[in-house]
Amino acid sequence: MKKHTGERPYKCNQCDKAFTRNSDLCRHLGTHTGKKPYQCNQCDKAFSKNNVLITHNRTHIGEKPYQCNQCDNTFSLNCNLIRHLRTHTGKKSYQCNQCDTAFSLNGYLIRHLRTHTREKPYQCNLCDKAFSKNNHLIRHQMTHTEEKPYQCNKCDKSFSEINYRHLGTHTGKKPYQCNQCDRAFSQNSVLITHNRTHIGEKPYQCNQCDNTFSLNCNLIRHLRTHTGKKSYQCNQCDKAFSLNGYLI
C-alpha cells in the first residue's frame, strides 16, 4: 500500500532520502559507509549492492540482454541502450559552445570538447602517452602487452579489442548509409567516424607536432614518421620506409 500512497517512512539519517521499504534503506546506507561487500570473482572490483555486482558480471561473460528495436545492437546495461536510442531519433540536443557541432549524447559532446581544449585526461602508466578517450588508452595499453583477447568466431583472427569492422567482412551487410555520399557501413560507429571526413572534424591530435586526423589509424601511421623506425624494406634495393604506402 505504501507504493500507492507515496508514503516513505524509512528515512536515511545521513541524507534527505526516504524509502518505502526498510530493505531499500539498508541498501542505500551502504553508499554512505563506503563498504563494498560484494566482490567480483573475475577482477578486483567490489560493490556496495549485489544487483550492481550482477550487472557488472555481464561485462565478463558478454551477456547483453538489452536489444535495440531499431538495429542489431545489444547492451549489457539498460542505461547504455537508452543513450544509444537517442542516436536513432536524429535529435541533437547537446551543442558545442566552441563551434556549431551538436550531438545526440552528452558524452559525445564532452569527448568533442577535448578536441578544442586538447585535454588528455587518460594517462598510460607504462609510458608518457596520454589520451582524450579512455577506450583509446585501453587499446594503447595492449600495445605494451601484445594481448589480443578478442577472437573472431568466424575465422582465426584475434584482436586487442572487439573489431566490429572485421566482423562485418564476414556478413557483408552494410545497413548504415551515409547521407552525404553513397558509402554504407556494417557498423554505426564506423559511419560516425566516416562522417568526420565530411564535416572536417579531426579529433586525433599528434603529440609530436600540430597535425590532426579524422581517423585514429591515420594518426598511428603518422606517428611512425616521428620515431625514425623504417620497417618497410624494399626487396630491390637497400631503401626502407616508415610507412608501407611509401614503399608501394
Distance CA 189, CA 191 (A): 5
- Residues with pLDDT less than 50, the chain: 1
What is the pLDDT, as a whole number, of residue 162? 67
Overall pTM > 0.75: no
**Number of structural domains found in the chain:** 1
What is the pLDDT, as a whole number, of residue 164? 67
User: How many residues can be counted in the chain?
Assistant: 248
Domain presence at residue 19: yes
Domain presence at residue 22: yes
CATH number of the domain at 19, please. Answer: 3.30.160.60
Domain presence at residue 8: yes
Distance CA 246, CA 123 (A): 32
What is the pLDDT, as a whole number, of residue 91? 82
Domain presence at residue 10: yes
Domain presence at residue 126: no
Domain presence at residue 49: yes
What is the pLDDT, as a whole number, of residue 207? 84
Domain presence at residue 135: no
Domain presence at residue 31: yes
What is the pLDDT, as a whole number, of residue 59? 78
Instruction: Please give the residue range of the domain that contains residue 50.
Output: 2-63
Buried-state track 175-213, b at ≥16 Cβ within 10 A, e below 16: ebeeeeeeeebbbbebbebbeeeeeebbbbbeeeeeebb
Asked whether the beta carbons of 78 and 64 are under 8 A apart, the reply is: no
What is the pLDDT, as a whole number, of residue 4? 59
What does the block give as the cell for 170? Answer: 564476414
Which 8-state DSSP code applies to residue 146? Answer: T
